C-alpha cells in the first residue's frame, strides 16, 4: 500500500502510530474498499487497511496532524462509522453486529412470508379478481421496506462509480416493481396495442427474499467470529497483592508501577513482567514458549504476564507494566495481523461488478435498437424488451451460488471434525502450498509421558521398589514427576511412609525410608552422590537422548535401580498426515520453541524435510510473512497462545481443538480431533467446495447467456419470437434449483 501525499501546509510527521479501530455499518467487501480509500486520502494518514471480515481498520497516522475524532468524521462522511474514545470499543462493535444480524433476520423472515402469496398468485391464480392489486400491496413493503438496504447500498456504491450485487438487486426489483405497478393501474396502454399487460411482482418479491437469505447466512458467519482479543486480555488479573512498607494489600492492576513488589500465590496468573526477588516455584509458560513442561523460577529469574504460577509462592519486582508486557505485545501483534490483511472481494461481488454494467448496457442498447428499427410498435417493443432483459438478469441463483455451497461445505467439514468459521478461508484453502506446523500439541501429544522404564535387576527390583518410586514422585513438585506417577498408576502401587524428603535444586530429590536412602534425578545427581553408572545404563541414556528424551535415574546409596526416559509422544497419525500433505506438493515446515536436538529427532521420526528450532512466537509470524513474500499461500497449524500471532498472519489458520481457547478463536478452522489427517481432508474439502461454487456460478449464468439475447428479441426478425415473461421466470427458478441441487451433491462427496 502506498503512502498518500500530505497536505502542503501540514507539519512533517511527528509521532506516527498504528491503531486498530472497529468499523460499523459495512455490509460487503466493496464497503471496506470505500472506507479504506477514504482513509488513505485523509490528511495525516500514512496508511490504512480495512478488513471486512473483522470489521476493523488498521490506521497508521500522525498524531500531530490528525486525531481519532477526525478519522471518525472522514468515515462518517460516506455513511459508515468508526468507534473511537470508547472504554470498550470491541463491545460496541459486537453489539452493533448483533443488532444488524437481528435486523437482517427479521427482514428475511417477513420478506419470505409476504412473498409466498405473491408467488402463488403470479404462478397459479393469474386471473384472480384484483390479484394484481393484492400482489402490489404485498410486494411494496418487501421491495421498499425490507429490501431498502439494497437501494441504500447501491446508491452508496454509485456515488463512487462502483456497482455490486446490491446495484443489480435494486435495479431489477425497482424497475420490475414500477413496470408492474404501471401495468396494474394502466393495463389499457398495452391492451390497445394488442399486448398482454404482464406483471413481475413475484419476481421482485422473491429476489429480495432470496438475497436477504444469502445476507443472513453471511452475517451469521461474521457474528460468530471469536472474542480472541477479549480472552487474551482476560489472562491478566484485575487486582494484585503488593507489599508496601512491609504491609500486604490488594490494589487494581492499573495502579501497579515499575518497581512495585507483588506477591504471587499458587495457581495465580502473573500480572506483570518482572523478576523474582524471593521464593521459588514452577511456572507454566506455555503461552509464551508453547512447551508443556513448567519452568522452575528462583530469585533473580524473569517471569512474564499471563503465565501461571503452579505450586510454590514468590515475590516479584515489576519491570514492565501495562502495554509494555509480553502479553500486551502479543495482543497488539494479533490485532495488527488481523487488521493488516487487505480486504478480499468475494467472487460473486467481483462477477457482479462486471455483470451489472454489462446487463444495464444491454438493456439500454436493446431499447435504442428497437426505437430505431422497431417500426410501428417501436416504443412498445423497446420498453418491453429492455425491462425483460433486466428482469431475466435478476441474480436469484447468483445470490445462492456461494452461500449454499459454503453452507454444505461447512456442514461436511463438521461431520469430519473440521469446524470452519470463515467462508473466505474455506475458499482459499485449496490454494495452500506451504503449511507450518507447531510441534508441541500439534505433531506431538502435548504432555510428557514415560516412554521407557527399565528396572536393571528385572521384575524383582520393580516389585521391591516401585512403591518407593511412586511415593517419592507423588511428593515432588516437578512436572516430570507427574508423568512417572501416571505410568506407575497402571501397576498395583501404593504409598509408603517416608522419614525424609529433600529437593535438590536443578538435580532431583533425596528421600529416606526407615531403612534406606534413595535418589531420583539426573546424571549430575548420580555423579555427585558417587553412584556408579554402569556402561549399559549410559549406553541406554545416550540412545534415549538422541531420540530427544529426558533421562531420569532412580538409585539407592549403592547403585542405579531404574532408568526412566520421558518424552512428549508423537501422535500416531502425524507421520501419515505429513506424508499426505507432501504428496500433494505442499511444503511442510515445523516450527518449535524446543531445542535443536529435540526438533531434529521429531522431524526425522515424522519424515519432515524443513524445521526450525528455538523459535519465539514473533519469529513464527515473521516466518509466515517470509513465505508469503515468496509468493506462497501459507496455512498455519497451532494449538497455543504462542501461536496466535502466526495464526492471525497466515492466509489459512487451523487450530487444534484440544489447544488453547485463544488459538481456536484466532484460527478460521478448528480441528475437533487431534488427528492431523484432518488437515489434508480440510484442503480436499476446500477444493470440492470451490469447484461446487464455480459450477453453481455456471448454472447461475448459463440461462442469462441464453435468455438475455432472447429477451432482447434477437429472434424477432427471424420468426417474430419475443420471450414470454413466464418462460423467463421458469428459467430463473430452474437456475436456482440447479444451484441448490448441485450444492447438495457435496454432501455425498468423499474428502
- Active centre residues (catalytic): 438
Distance separating alpha carbons of residues 320 and 313, to the nearest angstrom: 20
Which sign does the torsion angle of CA 658, 659, 663, 668 carry? negative
Could you list the beta-strand ranges (E) of 167-325: 239-244, 247-252, 261-264, 273-279, 281-284, 295-297, 302-303, 308-309, 314-320
What is residue 503's three-state secondary structure?
strand
What is residue 201's three-state secondary structure?
helix
Whether residue 440 contacts residue 599, with contact meaning beta carbons closer than 8 Å, is answered with no
Q: How far is CA 125 from CA 129, 468, 562, in A?
A: 9, 90, 90
Could you list the beta-strand ranges (E) of 557-711: 560-570, 587-591, 610-612, 634-638, 652-656, 669-671
Identify the CA nearest to 11 among candidates 53, 61, 56, 64.
64
Identify the CA nearest to 346 among candidates 390, 405, 432, 420.
405
- Residues with Cβ < 8 Å from 487, sequence gap 6 or more? 449, 450, 453
DSSP code for 269? B
Distance separating alpha carbons of residues 342 and 428, to the nearest angstrom: 14
Whether residue 676 contacts residue 694, with contact meaning beta carbons closer than 8 Å, is answered with no
Which sign does the torsion angle of CA 44, 49, 52, 53 carry? negative
What is the enclosing helix (H) or strand (E) of 134?
Answer: helix 131-141
Residue that has been written with the C-alpha cell 504462542 in this structure: 642
Whether residue 447 contacts residue 571, with contact meaning beta carbons closer than 8 Å, is answered with no
263 DSSP β-pair partners: 241, 315
Q: Which long-range contacts (CB under 8 A, 24 or more apart) does 43-49 make?
A: 43/6, 43/7, 43/10, 44/6, 44/7, 44/10, 44/70, 45/4, 45/71, 46/3, 46/4, 46/13, 46/16, 47/1, 47/3, 48/1, 49/1, 49/339, 49/340, 49/341, 49/342
Grid coordinates of 526: 548420580
DSSP code for 532? B
Distance separating alpha carbons of residues 273 and 288, to the nearest angstrom: 12
Amino acid at each position: 500500500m502506498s503512502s498518500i501525499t500530505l497536505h502542503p501546509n501540514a507539519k512533517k510527521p511527528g509521532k506516527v502510530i498504528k491503531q486498530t479501530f472497529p468499523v460499523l455499518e459495512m455490509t460487503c467487501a466493496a464497503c471496506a474498499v470505500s472506507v479504506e480509500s477514504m482513509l488513505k486520502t485523509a490528511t495525516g494518514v500514512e496508511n490504512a487497511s480495512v478488513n471486512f471480515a473483522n470489521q476493523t481498520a488498521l490506521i497508521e497516522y500522525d498524531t500531530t496532524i490528525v486525531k481519532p475524532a477526525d478519522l471518525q468524521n472522514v468515515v462518517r462522511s460516506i455513511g459508515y462509522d468508526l468507534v473511537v474514545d470508547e472504554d470498550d470499543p470491541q463491545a460496541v462493535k459486537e453489539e452493533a453486529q448483533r443488532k444488524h444480524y437481528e435486523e437482517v433476520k427479521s427482514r428475511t423472515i417477513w420478506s419470505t412470508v409476504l412473498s409466498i402469496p405473491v408467488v402463488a398468485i403470479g404462478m397459479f391464480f393469474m386471473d384472480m379478481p384484483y390479484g394484481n392489486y393484492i400482489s402490489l400491496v404485498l410486494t411494496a413493503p418487501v421491495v421498499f421496506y425490507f429490501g431498502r438496504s439494497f437501494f441504500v447500498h447501491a446508491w452508496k456504491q454509485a456515488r463512487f462509480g462502483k456497482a455490486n450485487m446490491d446495484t443489480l438487486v435494486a435495479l431489477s426489483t425497482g424497475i420490475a416493481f414500477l413496470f408492474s405497478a404501471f401495468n396494474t393501474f394502466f393495463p389499457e396502454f398495452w391492451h390497445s396495442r394488442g399486448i398482454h399487460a404482464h406483471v413481475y411482482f413475484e419476481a421482485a418479491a422473491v429476489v429480495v427474499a432470496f438475497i436477504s437469505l444469502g445476507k443472513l447466512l453471511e452475517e451469521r458467519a461474521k457474528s460468530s467470529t471469536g472474542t480472541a482479543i477479549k480472552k487474551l486480555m482476560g489472562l491478566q488479573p484485575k487486582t494484585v497483592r503488593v507489599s508496601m512498607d512491609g504491609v500486604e494489600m490488594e490494589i487494581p492492576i492499573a495502579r501497579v508501577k515499575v518497581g512495585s513488589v507483588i506477591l504471587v500465590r499458587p495457581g495465580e496468573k502473573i500480572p506483570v513482567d518482572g523478576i523474582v526477588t524471593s521464593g521459588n516455584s514452577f511456572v507454566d509458560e506455555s503461552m509464551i514458549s508453547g512447551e508443556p513442561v513448567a519452568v522452575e523460577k528462583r530469585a533473580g529469574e524473569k517471569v512474564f504476564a499471563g503465565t501461571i504460577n503452579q505450586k510454590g509462592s514468590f515475590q516479584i519486582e515489576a519491570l514492565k507494566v501495562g502495554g509494555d508486557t509480553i502479553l500486551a505485545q502479543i495482543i497488539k501483534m494479533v490485532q495488527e495481523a488481523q487488521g493488516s490483511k487487505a480486504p478480499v472481494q468475494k467472487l460473486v461481488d467481483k462477477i457482479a461488478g462486471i455483470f451489472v454494467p454489462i446487463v444495464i448496457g444491454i438493456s439500454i442498447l436493446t431499447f435504442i435498437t428497437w426505437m430505431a428499427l422497431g417500426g410501428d410498435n417501436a416504443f412498445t417493443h423497446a420498453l418491453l424488451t429492455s425491462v425483460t432483459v433486466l428482469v431475466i438478469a435478476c441474480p436469484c441463483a447468483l445470490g445462492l451460488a456461494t452461500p449454499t455451497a459454503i453452507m454444505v461445505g461447512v456442514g461436511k467439514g463438521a461431520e469430519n471434525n473440521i469446524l470452519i468459521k470463515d467462508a473466505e478461508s474455506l475458499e482459499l484453502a485449496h490454494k495452500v502450498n506451504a503449511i507450518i506446523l507447531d510441534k508441541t500439541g500439534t505433531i506431538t501429544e502435548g504432555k510428557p509421558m514415560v516412554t521407557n522404564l527399565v528396572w536393571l535387576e528385572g521384575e524383582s527390583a520393580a516389585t521391591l521398589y516401585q512403591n518407593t518410586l511412586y511415593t517419592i514422585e507423588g511428593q515432588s513438585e516437578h512436572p516430570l514427576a507427574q508423568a512417572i506417577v501416571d505410568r506407575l498408576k497402571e501397576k498395583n502401587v501404593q504409598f509408603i511412609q517416608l522419614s525424609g524428603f529433600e529437593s535438590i535444586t536443578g538435580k532431583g530429590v533425596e528421600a529416606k525410608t526407615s531403612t534406606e536412602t534413595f535418589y531420583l534425578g539426573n546424571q549430575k545427581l548420580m555423579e555427585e552422590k558417587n553412584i556408579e553408572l554402569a556402561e549399559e545404563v549410559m549406553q541406554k541414556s545416550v540412545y534415549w537422548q538422541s531420540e530427544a528424551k529426558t533421562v531420569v535415574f532412580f538409585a539407592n546409596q549403592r547403585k542405579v535401580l531404574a532408568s526412566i526416559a520421558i518424552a512428549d509422544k508423537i501422535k500416531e497419525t502425524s507421520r501419515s498426515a505429513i506424508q499426505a500433505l507432501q504428496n500433494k506438493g505442499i511444503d511442510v515446515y515445523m516450527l518449535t520453541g524446543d531445542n535443536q536436538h529435540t526438533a531434529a529427532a521429531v522431524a526425522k521420526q515424522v519424515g519432515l524435510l524443513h524445521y526450525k528450532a528455538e523459535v519465539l512466537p514473533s519469529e513464527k509470524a515473521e516466518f509466515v510473512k517470509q513465505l508469503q513474500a515468496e509468493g506462497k499461500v501459507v496455512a498455519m497449524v497451532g494449538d497455543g497462545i504462542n501461536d496466535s500471532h502466526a495464526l492471525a498472519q497466515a492466509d489459512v489458520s487451523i487450530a487444534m481443538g484440544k489447544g488453547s481457547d485463544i488459538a481456536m478463536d484466532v484460527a478460521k478452522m478448528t480441528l475437533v480431533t487431534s488427528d492431523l489427517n484432518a488437515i489434508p481432508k480440510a484442503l480436499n474439502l476446500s477444493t470440492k467446495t470451490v469447484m461446487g461454487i464455480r459450477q453453481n456460478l455456471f448454472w447461475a449464468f448459463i440461462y442469462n447467456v441464453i435468455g438475455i439475447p432472447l429477451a432482447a428479441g434477437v429472434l424477432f426478425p427471424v420468426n417474430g419470437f419475443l420471450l414470454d415473461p413466464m418462460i423467463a421466470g421458469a428459467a430463473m427458478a430452474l437456475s436456482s434449483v440447479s444451484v441448490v441441487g448441485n450444492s447438495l451433491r457435496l454432501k455425498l462427496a468423499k474428502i
